Amino acid sequence: MKSTGIVRKVDELGRVVLPIELRRTLDIAEKDALEIYVDGSTIILKKYEPACIFCNDAKDVISYKGKNICKNCMQELKNS
């Protein structure tokens, strides 16, 4: 993991502000969803990208009957 040297305090409602420079670098816009992971005592934030239920790819994902499926897996299902 790489340190940015940026320190922020948690406010009374448990919020942390992500600096604009970091949001621009990581392409995180206002209202974007973030996934929260925990690894021991480390908290990891990741921009949420819905992934295919079959191959876990996040590119070209469509929703079919409430499930996320990528175009490649959809094509494979059509061909089988």
Residues 6+ apart with CB under 8 A from 3: none
Q: Is 37 helix (H, G, I), strand (E, B) or coil?
A: strand
Q: Which amino acid is at 78?
A: K
Tokens 């079919």 correspond to: 64
The pLDDT tens digits along the chain (80 residues) read 788 899 999 999 999 999 999 999 999 999 999 999 999 999 999 888 889 999 999 888 998 888 899 999 999 999 98
The answer to pTM > 0.75 is: no
What domains are there in the chain, each with its CATH number?
1-48 (2.10.260.10), 50-80 (no CATH)
Identify the burial level of 69 via C-beta atoms within 10 angstroms of its C-beta, where 0-12 means exposed, 13-18 middle and 19 or more buried.
buried
- Residue 20: in which H helix or E strand, if any? helix 20-25
